[in-house]
Amino acid sequence: MSTVTNPILPGCYPDPSICRVGEDYYLVTSTFEYLPGLPVLHSRDLVTWETIGHVVHRPGQLDYTGIASSGGLYAPTIRHHDGLFWVICTLVGQPQGNPGGNFLMTATDPAGPWSDPMWLDADGIDPSIFFDDDGRIWVHGTRLAREPEWFHQTEVWIRELDPETKKLTGPEHVVWSGAVKGAVWAEAPHLYKVDGTYYLMAAEAGTEFHHAESIAQAEVVTGPYTGTRGNPILTHRHLGRQHPVVGAGHADLVEAADGSWWAVLLAMRTYGGYHYPLGRETFLVPVVWEDGWPVFAPGVGKVPDEVEVPFATGPARGSAQGLASGVVAPDDLRWTAVRALPAEVATPAGQGWDLPLRAATLDSLEVPAFLGVRLQHTHADFLARVTVDLAVGEEVGVVVRQSEKDHARLAVTRGGTGLVARAVHRQRDEDREVGSAPVADGPLTLAVRARGVDLELLVASGDAEPVVVGTVPATDLDTVATGGFLGLWLGVYATSDGAETSTVAHVEVTYTPAS
């Protein structure tokens, strides 16, 4: 038996979906505007997880042109059927005329390669897919109700999928609008068949404080569905905003090989008041069935801090890939870029990257020269060693990124008297300098030091010890303060601010959890 500490995927791993194939578990999460998209994680015991690939992993699979922060890939579902892995998802925020909406991708190997998208004629978000034991395939999702009874009422629809054409066919059935009258955003629907009964599980009330998970059952897949009197079957809203874990919901069920049941779901850990800079994270909860309904965290009724997994024989504490301390080499699957793949904006070079400066800046909707990783700890050090010969007007730096409109960066630029480092807080699309320091020519050390709510921006030249140039509160950058759906990213960037250039920065990065 092993014990896993929640969350099982710390940092911004929202909207988890899981499936089991034999003794292997596979999990995917949302990635929004970051690429590669939709990480595929593998585990043998639900305790230790490793990223083995991504669903969106090559140029041209999806068009991210013009997608703003908190747009992009929403709420994937992963399933396995007849030797094939299926992921169904939504691409949100595409400018008019570009492909977007709900799509399917398939692969024989979950590590990839994955197919190009097969677009579905269905509106809304959060699609899921269900393979019935009679061979029929059902796609379901959520959208704003066509004839709403209240503001932001949503409805869950279901429609058959032709297995040959991968097109929706036959009539559409609207089967659910949530367990609570007046509740908004019945979303993340998943269908299951247990002991001959169909179950429709969905989150509702929005993916914030009032988030809740509810369930209904039916005798036939197209309904009618009747909810349990015990709805919601999981929520933390009754615990108040002082509880250290809030927003529990968006769950997916899986039956283990030993017959036990489990759920993965999202929730947020708060610190610095009602704020969650790490974003929506993935948690594990045990489930039992009583009187024909699932019971989450029996005897506890909330997301537990630790979960004992009887069939796990791994380490005492579970972990996701990405928690390792030290150098983040180019082949590390933690690397992401914005609206492009890391290899499209930089070239691997030794233990680091050659990062050509781009005209795009961090506040634009173009593709910036940016490479980043999720912030996964309340206390961590992100350190970039940079070698570059900047021309006047060019900029290289590190950034704590929430979006184009909200981020904190340490920007090194060359002026008439030499290099200068400026700590800049971009808030609601406006820059405010919070500190500056001169910098000597030579190799640079640029760093972000996260210490709870304090995000310190540091600089040094040569072998000198880095000094703090400015500090920005993490509570000014999380989604409670800024909106959107993302946790914070730590990254390195380089820009010529619109000018043509041939300058290339060489960067090597370490990420180290701190006590």
Of 437, 425, 426, nearest to 404 by C-alpha is: 426
Q: Which residues contact 5 (CB under 8 A, 6 or more apart)?
A: 305, 306, 317, 318
Residue 330's Cβ-side half-sphere holds a number of Cα atoms within 13 Å equal to 17
Let me know if 33 is a catalytic residue: no
Strands 407-415 vs 418-427: parallel, antiparallel or unpaired = antiparallel
Q: How many CB atoms lie within 10 A of CB 348?
A: 14
The active-site residue, picked from 15, 45, 252, 281, is 15
State yes or no: cis peptide before 36, omega within 30 of 0.
Answer: yes
- Please say whether the beta carbons of 462 and 388 come within 8 A: no
Tokens in use for 90?
Answer: 């939504």
Of 432, 434, 431, 429, nearest to 483 by C-alpha is: 429
What value does the CA radius of gyration of the chain take, rounded to a whole number of Å?
A: 23
Let me know if 15 is a catalytic residue: yes
- Please say whether the beta carbons of 149 and 81 come within 8 A: no
C-alpha separations of 55 from 89, 105, 271, 479 in Å: 10, 8, 32, 26
Tokens in use for 159?
Answer: 């429609």
Report d(CA 488, CA 172) in Å as an integer.
Answer: 39
Report d(CA 497, CA 396) in Å as an integer.
Answer: 11
φ/ψ (deg, to 5) at 238: -75, -10
Look at the alpha carbons of 149, 152, 153, 155 in this order and tell me if their dihedral is positive or negative: positive
Q: How many CB atoms lie within 10 A of CB 367?
A: 19
- The number of residues making up the chain comes to 515
The active-site residue, picked from 160, 187, 204, 213, is 187
- Catalytic center residues: 15, 187
